[in-house]
Amino acid sequence: MLNVNQAIVLGAISTGGGLAQIEEQLGFCDLPVMSSHLYQKIQNELAHSIHELAWEIIEQAGVQERRIAIEKGHIGKDSIPYITVIADGAWSKHSYKVNYDAASGVGVIIGQETKKVLFLGIRNKYCCLCARAENKEEQPIAHMCFKNWSGPSTGMESNIIFEGFKQSIEMHGVKYLCLVGDGDSSVTKKLADARPYDTPVSKIECRNHLLRNYCTRLRALTQKKTSSKNLPVSVKQRNILMNSIKRLRSGIIGAINYITTEKSEECHAEKFRLLKKDIYNGPYHVFGNHEKCETYFCSKMTNIDQDEQKKGYHWVAEMKASGRFQDILYVAERVTRNAESLILNMDNNAAECYNSVVAKLVGGKRINYTARRSYATRCEVAAISYNVPAGEFPRLSIKK
């Protein structure tokens, strides 16, 4: 059983708050508030127990993932089971695509079958006690320092994920031979260069990230008043493209769903050919030219009236004249390069869900919990919360 002080500190951690939030809540209740020193002491006591519990639960998830791999016969020539994992990283603060200097970051590896955390890594660039002693040009007092990273913040994710791959056999007795992730090329390069196993790790790009990048590049074209041919693009053309982005994305999703269901028995090469053709034909279809549409993709090829057909040819021809249509096709071609990943129709939503739990526990990334141990503790609480079903949260054993 936790005493009242331990319970309220654990409650604050589990809801993304801290001492300031405790003071505000108890102030409305006209109750006394603990000191900052006592809060830090209790948090350290809880942090030790949370750390042990988190890794105990992670080990249990590894046992489940290994058992499923053996049941499915996913065993390599070296008699070691292999699995597919989902990986992603997050920072302690929002970058807004401008500031890539977060003081802390977390990376997670999740099993594809169990959807549970198999590895958790945290990198910290800052320790308040060390920084304070450095400013005073003194030796820091004896303390548990959690500063474990001196490189750029952009290198945290790849370093954590590589560490998880390197420890997979020792921790869980499995190899991570297939990785589902976003378009972070640094992770792929790190795994390809360092080669944690004798067998190379294959990478599957997340479907959602590929489609989001597709829409982002199309949206960027709507802001450009000239094409790649350095010709002016009319406001009407840019508005039509802006209003058609969702349709272009939906067309790719429809093609993926059809090929993965109706064409599931086709060979991989045929699926790849059909999907590439549908992606590249998407802009023609959306802007009204249905000459190259497949019957399963579009019914307008035979049912379209002459006036609508002329209108479609008009917009395609006008965009080609300005060079904007070629720009759109170039963006579509970039998506076709990852058609093999799209055919598998996989995403890294599991890792994104874990990141969202971390974001809740760190106050929406708007409160700085990176000075000492608090950020790491909250990431471990997120792992426990993510792996354990609601209502089955295990009891903490507090050790002073």
Give me the half-sphere count of Cα atoms (radius 13 Å) on the Cβ side of residue 22. 21
Q: Please give the Cα distance from 286 to 247 (Å, whole number).
A: 7
Q: Please state the separation of Cα 239 from the chain's center in Å.
A: 31
Predicted local distance difference test score (pLDDT) of residue 179: 95
- Spatial CA neighbour of 112 closest among 152, 59, 142, 68: 68
Q: Please give the Cα distance from 224 to 242 (Å, whole number).
A: 12
Share of the chain above pLDDT 70, in %: 94
pLDDT tens, position by position, 29-70? 999 999 999 999 999 999 999 999 999 999 999 999 999 999
Name the percent of the chain in helix, strand, coil, to the closest 5: 55, 10, 35
Torsion of CA 323, 329, 334, 337, to 10 degrees: -140
- Mean of the pLDDT values across residues 148-155? 92
* pLDDT above 60: residue 168: yes
* Averaged pLDDT score across all residues of the chain: 90
Contact by Cβ (8 Å): 89, 107: yes
Q: Which residues pair with 176 in a beta bridge?
A: 83
Same domain, 147 and 224: no
Same domain, 337 and 352: no
* pLDDT above 90: residue 306: no
Asked, for residue 355, whether it belongs to a domain, the answer is yes
Predicted local distance difference test score (pLDDT) of residue 28: 93
Asked, for residue 313, whether it belongs to a domain, the answer is yes
Same domain, 169 and 75: yes
Question: pTM, whole model, 2 decimals?
Answer: 0.90
Asked, for residue 26, whether it belongs to a domain, the answer is no
pLDDT tens, position by position, 19-29? 999 999 999 99
More confident residue, 264 or 241: 241
- Mean of the pLDDT values across residues 313-341? 90
Cβ atoms within 10 Å of 132's Cβ, excluding its own? 13
Asked, for residue 156, whether it belongs to a domain, the answer is yes
- The CATH number covering residue 111 comes to 3.30.420
Same domain, 192 and 217: no
Please count the structural domains in the chain. Answer: 2
pLDDT tens, position by position, 210-237? 999 999 999 999 999 999 999 999 999 9
Same domain, 68 and 200: yes
Asked, for residue 42, whether it belongs to a domain, the answer is no
* pLDDT above 80: residue 396: no
Cβ atoms within 10 Å of 384's Cβ, excluding its own? 21
Same domain, 201 and 212: no
Same domain, 217 and 320: yes
Q: Domain range for residue 158?
A: 59-205+347-387
Overall size of the chain counted in residues: 400
* pLDDT above 70: residue 256: yes
Q: Which segment, 139-143, 171-175, 335-339, is predicted with the most confidence on average?
A: 171-175
Same domain, 75 and 193: yes
The pair of structure tokens assigned to 130 is 């060390």
CA distances from 27 to 10, 18, 33, 194 (A): 18, 14, 8, 54
Same domain, 358 and 334: no
Least confident of 181-195, 202-216, 226-240: 181-195
pLDDT band of 310, cuts 50, 70, 90? low
Predicted local distance difference test score (pLDDT) of residue 391: 66
Cβ atoms within 10 Å of 216's Cβ, excluding its own? 11
If DSSP codes are grouped into helix, strand and coil, which group holds residue 19?
Answer: helix
Asked, for residue 285, whether it belongs to a domain, the answer is yes
Strand ranges, E, within the chain: 82-91, 104-111, 117-124, 175-181, 202-205
- Mean of the pLDDT values across residues 73-97? 93
Contact by Cβ (8 Å): 384, 393: yes
Predicted local distance difference test score (pLDDT) of residue 227: 94
Q: Please give the Cα distance from 309 to 306 (Å, whole number).
A: 5
For the chain, how many helices (H) and strands (E)? 16, 5
Same domain, 240 and 319: yes
Asked, for residue 292, whether it belongs to a domain, the answer is yes
pLDDT tens, position by position, 354-389? 999 999 999 999 889 998 889 999 999 999 999 998
Torsion of CA 322, 325, 327, 329, to 10 degrees: -160
Asked, for residue 16, whether it belongs to a domain, the answer is no
Same domain, 139 and 182: yes
Q: Phi and psi of 395, rounded to 5°?
A: -80, 135
The pair of structure tokens assigned to 211 is 């489609």
pLDDT tens, position by position, 340-363? 899 998 999 999 999 999 999 999
If DSSP codes are grouped into helix, strand and coil, which group holds residue 75?
Answer: strand
Same domain, 245 and 325: yes
- Spatial CA neighbour of 85 closest among 63, 60, 110: 110
